[in-house]
Amino acid sequence: MKLPHRHARRLQLAAAVILLAILAPVAARPLPGSTPIPIPATLQSGQGRYELHVNPTVAARSAPAARVARHFADLVQRTHGLTLQTIDSEHGAGVTYTLDPTATSDDEGYVLDIDDDGARILARDERGLFYGAVTLWQLLDAEGRLPAVRIEDAPRFGWRGLMLDSARHMQSVEEIKHLLDAMALHKLNVFHWHLTDDQGWRIEIKRYPRLTEVGGCRIPAGDAGTDPATGQTRPYCGHYTQAQIREIVAYAAERHITVVPEIDMPGHAQAAVAAYPELGTVAGETAVSNEWGVHTYLFNVEEDTFGFLENVLTEVLALFPSAYIHVGGDEAVKDQWQASEQVQARMRALGVADETQLQAYFISRMERFLSAHGRRLIGWDEILEGGLPADATVMSWRGIEGGIAAARQGHDVVMSPSSDLYLDYLQTDSPNELPGRPATIPLRQVYAFEPVPEALDASQARHVLGVQANVWTEHMRDYARVQHAVFPRIAALAETGWSPADRRDYDDFLVRLPAQLRRYRALGIAYAQTPFEVRMTVETADRGTGTIEVALSNPLGYDGIGYTTDGEDPTAESPAYEAPLVRPLPAEVRARVFVDGEALADASVQRFDAASLLRRSDEALKMCTGALMLRLEDDGPADGDRARFNVDIFNPCWQWDGADLDGIAAVQVRAGRIPYYFQLHHDESNRKFRTPKSAHGELEIHAGCDGELLASAPLPEHPDADGFIVLDAALPEQAGTRDLCITFTGDTRPTMWVLDEVRLIPR
Ligand code: ACM
């Protein structure tokens, strides 16, 4: 499928950014030292500094200290170009790492002292030395100097987690290591690895090879599922071998990160049931799902199935030393159990009252198995329903209510609410956001999340083990997208998880963030540009005189916007933005945010002319009702960039408020078509399909969403070869402004039309 021009340009830009990140670590400016993220518990600045570059020596006499010293010598070499030498004597060493059982009371805590004589890190455990070294690295400036400071630091929470979904889309072992490196430098210590789901089983289980042979492959929906060259199906396949998993677990452990595997049950089981239909609840075979949403496939509750799950867990336990094993438990809609004679008979035999109790029975059996093997069960908050074994831990994702209820019942809790800590939700309203869920969770909101609800008293609050952010990857086909979702929001999560509540201060965090971005660039981390972009808003446009007034702003509120109107990218010396720019058309504005003379992101570029004022992309339009908005991508081409669309899948209808229809002859709509690949289950009835008047339905333009039909045009059966259509709907003579609602009639499942761009065509 051919790429529309604007997407092709985006692709080039993205490629350029990635290339820069890979080819030019530390590019223009080396790292200056600065106050760390997460902010330490206590930090007292002293007088003077230590010139580590003059005496780049390190003493680390115990084996753990030597490991930490080596790790950070490598890091400092990479990011600062400074070579540190290990020496035997602590006397005269530039940096000293010392294990000292009396240094701190917390195994992850450390004391860092820097004065004219050098830097000393003390901790009772290797973990503390490691975190002290992270702080030291952040303080080290570009010239190799360390500020005099005394830091006494320890984490607020013991669970500082990040979940990665490798079931919907996989990441390579190298990419996961890159993420683990970054987690460690944010002092995060739990990598929750979501390895099985309806769309893929990604962990090799030697006893059950079909789990990965069959369950590890799906045929993607729509065009992506076919090789255009051969017409053959193009499956999306993959799994992690046990050897790869061991490698990742070991790599994480070297960075003091525990890998908590998740094997989801009794729901999210479609891939497993596709591999072994006898595990399922309905007769016949099924395929690994290529759709998103809540699926109906559940494991059955036969003894053989419990035997299967215990055998799977036995192999899981051998791979993952984690005390906690995650068994999912989420979104197990009970229809299949209700409909199954076999399950109902088992329920009666077991004396279980209903399907909710049956799930509780299911989870309690798994809990017994894990306890018997010295492990602890953790699951999503649905495991509370129907009762839960006392030792089970609850991960609260449907808000914090499950967490509150669990803590009140005496269960340990990890807070991971979708409302604040789901990183597949977009982070700004920029048109450059990648596919995801557009309920926006900006950096400020991640930062503001408080893991200990006020509703808990002190004894209940002690059950809150910590926080976790989750990266679901339905819409993240590659690791660049994962990085976009994770960075910089992970920095906010890190501070919530590590720093004392009274040390958290969002404004101060924003002051420290540019230094963190520099670290990201030095480490080849492709952080999201969107929060650091300059947004351009046309405040007023006079089509008569051909003048516009454009306001510039930044989503995070950074000022220091430099701009140009001469086609050159802004530099730190470019004019500083102070008030909306008034410009004759055509005009091209380029702008970027500068902090201390350094740009935080690529330049934003926008061209304004008579036609652009009459044009809106889907991203610039509201959803008519906004029931379930997603940011989705086209299903082709199979590789590379694809067009992206904002669409409300319950009610695909786009709204242009205040469209000026003076002298307008027609509304021209460019639309693409994407798979309707959602399992909405009980919500499916909320999906609106408007009655068509012709064979393939119509494009309709209404004045207001329930208002008069202004214009329409029949839809073709198929899009053009490039995957798009362009339709003109003639308007009757109009004057003034109207709120236009643009929609498509007919039920086109298994595909759906989606608006890409709308233009007003003058008479
Ligand atoms: C979840 O988001 N289903 C845990």
| Residue with the two structure tokens 């990604």 | 202
Using a 6 Å cutoff on CB, does residue 331 contact ligand 1? Answer: yes
Question: For 576, which DSSP code?
Answer: B
Domain 530-608 -> CATH class: mainly beta
Which atom of ligand 1 is nearest the CA belonging to 328? 4
With 90 as the cut, is the pLDDT of residue 35 above it? Answer: no
Cα separations (Å) of 230 from 66, 233, 722? Answer: 56, 9, 18
Helix, strand, coil share of the chain (percent; to 5): 30, 30, 40
Superfamily name with CATH number, domain 42-153? Chitobiase/beta-hexosaminidase domain 2-like (3.30.379.10)
Tell me if 291 sits within 8 A of 344, measured CB to CB.
no
Q: Is 91 a catalytic residue?
A: no
Using a 6 Å cutoff on CB, does residue 165 contact ligand 1? Answer: no
Q: 7: pLDDT confidence band, cut at 50, 70 and 90?
A: very low
Q: Whose CA is nearest to atom 3 of ligand 1?
A: 330
Least confident of 331-335, 529-533, 543-547, 588-592: 543-547
CATH 3.20.20.80 domain span(s) along the chain: 159-504
Distance from residue 331's CA to the centre of ligand 1 (Å): 7
Question: What pLDDT, in 10s, does the model give residues 650-700?
Answer: 899 999 999 999 999 999 999 999 999 999 878 888 888 899 999 999 999
Q: What's the pTM?
A: 0.94
By CB atoms closer than 10 A (0-12, 13-18, 19+), residue 613 is: middle
CATH 2.60.120.260 domain span(s) along the chain: 615-762
Distance from residue 193's CA to the centre of ligand 1 (Å): 13
Using a 6 Å cutoff on CB, does residue 293 contact ligand 1? Answer: no
The one catalytic residue in 302, 331, 478, 588 is: 331
Structure tokens at 176: 């996961």
More confident residue, 684 or 364: 364
CA distance 267 to 252: 28
Tell me if 645 sits within 8 A of 755, measured CB to CB.
yes
Mean pLDDT of the chain, nearest integer: 93
Q: 33: pLDDT confidence band, cut at 50, 70 and 90?
A: low
With 60 as the cut, is the pLDDT of residue 734 above it? Answer: yes
Distance from residue 418's CA to the centre of ligand 1 (Å): 8
Which atom of ligand 1 is nearest the CA belonging to 418? 2
Distance from residue 470's CA to the centre of ligand 1 (Å): 9
Using a 6 Å cutoff on CB, does residue 208 contact ligand 1? Answer: no
Superfamily name with CATH number, domain 615-762? Galactose-binding domain-like (2.60.120.260)
Using a 6 Å cutoff on CB, does residue 198 contact ligand 1? Answer: no
CATH 2.60.40 domain span(s) along the chain: 530-608
Which atom of ligand 1 is nearest the CA belonging to 397? 4
Tell me if 554 sits within 8 A of 532, measured CB to CB.
yes
- pLDDT given at position 34: 77
> What percentage of the chain has pLDDT greater than the value 70?
96
Question: What pLDDT, in 10s, does the model give residues 608-646?
Answer: 999 999 999 999 999 998 778 899 999 988 777 899 999
Q: Is 639 a catalytic residue?
A: no
Distance from residue 321's CA to the centre of ligand 1 (Å): 24
With 70 as the cut, is the pLDDT of residue 567 above it? Answer: yes
CA distance 491 to 257: 16
Q: Is 268 a catalytic residue?
A: yes
CA distance 426 to 424: 6
- pLDDT given at position 415: 98
Domain 159-504 -> CATH class: alpha beta
Distance from residue 330's CA to the centre of ligand 1 (Å): 6
The one catalytic residue in 197, 198, 424, 635 is: 197
* Secondary structure class of 112 (helix, strand, coil): strand
